Amino acid sequence: MRTLNDFPVTQKWPAQHPDRLQLYSLPTPNGVKVSIMLEETGLPYEPHLVSFDSNDQLSPEFLSLNPNNKIPAILDPNGPGGQPLALFESGAILLYLADKTGQLLPQDAAARYHTTQWLMFQMGGIGPMFGQLGFFHKFAGKDYEDKRPRDRYVAESRRLLKVLDDRLQDRSWIMGEDYTIADIAIFPWVNNLIGFYGAGELVHIDQFPHLLRTLDTFRNRPAVQRGLTIPARV
């Protein structure tokens, strides 16, 4: 039977609590999805900071866990069948943790698939589009004289924000009254867009009141407030 010590990633980030789920991450929108999920479910875990400043994500140890060199990734010592499970991709991790804990994903088959579709909406649309907008508004792309690339992502981000605002017009959360992994996937990205990226005015975020209402509720959840800072930057 394999143990955590059989995984090379634990050589770079030794487990102080080998009986707990190991989280390898950074407090980015994708990273905090998983830390928020773990805080919401109460599942014991041990976080490890993957520092992009020192290229931790390119180390052989991390690549042995995620060959795509992206965060987050997890190593669960108590995976299916009692065997350790290594997993990457934040959406896959959210689904796994929901199944493992029986929380934040409907048991009804139709509602489960509807929740999953909104998770995929974030993975395929919100994350990539907001991320590109961040590049052209805050990072190196902001110095490009040609603003057509930026404006293309502004327009697409606004379209996605309207989809969310319309969805939330008569709902407390994406799936209605129940808070789910769809919300945990989506709202860190909305929060990042108008916070860290500073693009709220650019996308006219005030035109999406239902979305802002739900974002405020999301931010006020204690588990969210904790998860947004995990792993702590050093």
**Predicted local confidence at residue 172, as pLDDT:** 98
Q: Judge if 217 and 113 occupy the same domain.
A: yes
**Predicted local confidence at residue 234, as pLDDT:** 76
Domain count, the chain: 2
Last residue of some domain: 60, 84, 103?
103
**Predicted local confidence at residue 73, as pLDDT:** 98
CATH of the domain at 34: 3.40.30.10
On whether the pTM is more than 0.95, the answer is yes
Report the chain's mean pLDDT, rounded to a whole number: 97
What Rg, from alpha-carbon coordinates, does the chain have?
A: 18
Omega cis (within 30) before 106? no
Q: Judge if 114 and 213 occupy the same domain.
A: yes
27-71: pLDDT as tens digits: 999 999 999 999 999 999 999 999 999 999 999 999 999 999 999
Q: In the chain, which residues have pLDDT < 50?
A: none
